[in-house]
Structure 1
């Protein structure tokens, strides 16, 4: 007789307190030719990187994401020059300095500075993910025990485990992680970051 089994999926979450801010900053420059556009964008990016370092961000937390250059056209479709852009990823570990960095960069670079992303994150997710996985497995076991009882059986050995994923869900408002960033007027509401995990488990029925 074939062995009886039950397979269920479980989901779990764990709240963690963000301790870093991930910035994605972009500098663009318009010029009549490609070379001048690239030079302008590079000069702006050099100033941006210098400002970031002046506010205590280490080299390990600064990374160039990409660089692009493309042609520009006017409203009639006539080529009028080129635009070069460079993007920088910055991890800020002193949350109260985020506003200072953005204000200083805007003052130095002006409208050539674009802020693509300001995202709160956790530098080390391992503990939160462990707790999310524990919760997901417990959720799966609770379901499996119910199904086993409905079948007049008990759970036996675990025959298989497959993780469907462990991902951040987003922010849940809670405590204030940092004061209002005075220069930029942009408060950072830390809240809690929810980490989610899901798992599929197969048990033997006996």
Structure 2
């Protein structure tokens, strides 16, 4: 083996690819110390008797959401403010009863809007009053989404569908799998670059998890929710990046 007495920088363009398995890790660029992202070159630094390599691995996991959040409510327009508000409250009570009847638990219902105001056909002349009350319903059985939405529609002309979102209720298992994949990705990259540098990979010096991509709700519009065929939770992606420093030997 040839001993390199000075700092050597090994740079390579890394093509994005899949690491394999359901918790597949996208191949990412590896970066040297001090870089804020995984987009820089890999760096192998040799300092006399001490050599280290720093790599950044990424793990991605797709999960199927198991919770739907339905944004719904009621809206009425009447000649007077008192009539509008009273009828909106009656319609909201009917909506709540319908949601409970569709299997939603009371603890999963939350009022998220309560409004009352004038309506103008020709400002400043008041043509009437609009009252609205919004409700967010947490649907914990996604398979019952159609049933819940149908129950809202059956409330009558006062009912409103304002959109739905989907989420994974427990991301801990998915995060663990993504971390496993990220570490395996980092090790594979480190072994590759160590070999290219004419060295062997040694022990881990340090591990730090960097900012990945947290799961985010998948949004659909209220218009889409009206079509049964469009009620699908899709998938959510969770991404984890890990920076690992190895000894070279």
Alignment TM class, shorter chain as reference: 0.7 to 0.9
Aligned equivalent of 2:184, options 116, 138, 163: 138
SS at the partner of 1:22? strand
SS at the partner of 2:155? helix
1:25 is aligned to 2:67:
no
Aligned-residue offset at 1:33? 4.8
Aligned-residue offset at 1:169? 6.6
- Report 1:50-199 matches (<5 A): 50-74=97-121, 76-80=122-126, 81-110=128-157, 112-153=158-199, 154-168=201-215, 186-187=228-229, 190=232, 193-199=235-241
Aligned-residue offset at 1:151? 4.0
Conservation of the 8 A alpha-carbon contact between 2:166 and 2:217: no
Aligned-residue offset at 1:170? 7.6
1:200 is aligned to 2:247:
no
CA distance 1:96–1:169, shift in 2 (3 Å): closer
TM-score by structure 1 length? Answer: 0.72
Conservation of the 8 A alpha-carbon contact between 2:166 and 2:233: no
CA distance 1:144–1:69, shift in 2 (3 Å): farther
Higher strand proportion (structure 1 or 2): 1
Q: How many residues align?
A: 193
- Unmatched 5+ residue regions in structure 1? 172-183
In 2, Cα distance between equivalents of 1:159 and 1:122? 31
RMSD: 3.3
SS at the partner of 1:123? coil
Higher relative contact order (CA 8 A, sep 6+): 1
Q: 1:13 — aligned with what?
A: 60
Higher helix proportion (structure 1 or 2): 1
TM-score by structure 2 length? Answer: 0.62
- Unmatched 5+ residue regions in structure 2? 1-46, 219-225
SS at the partner of 1:100? helix
34-43 vs 54-63, which moves further: 34-43
Q: 1:44 — aligned with what?
A: 91
CA distance 1:139–1:65, shift in 2 (3 Å): farther
CA distance 1:78–1:59, shift in 2 (3 Å): same
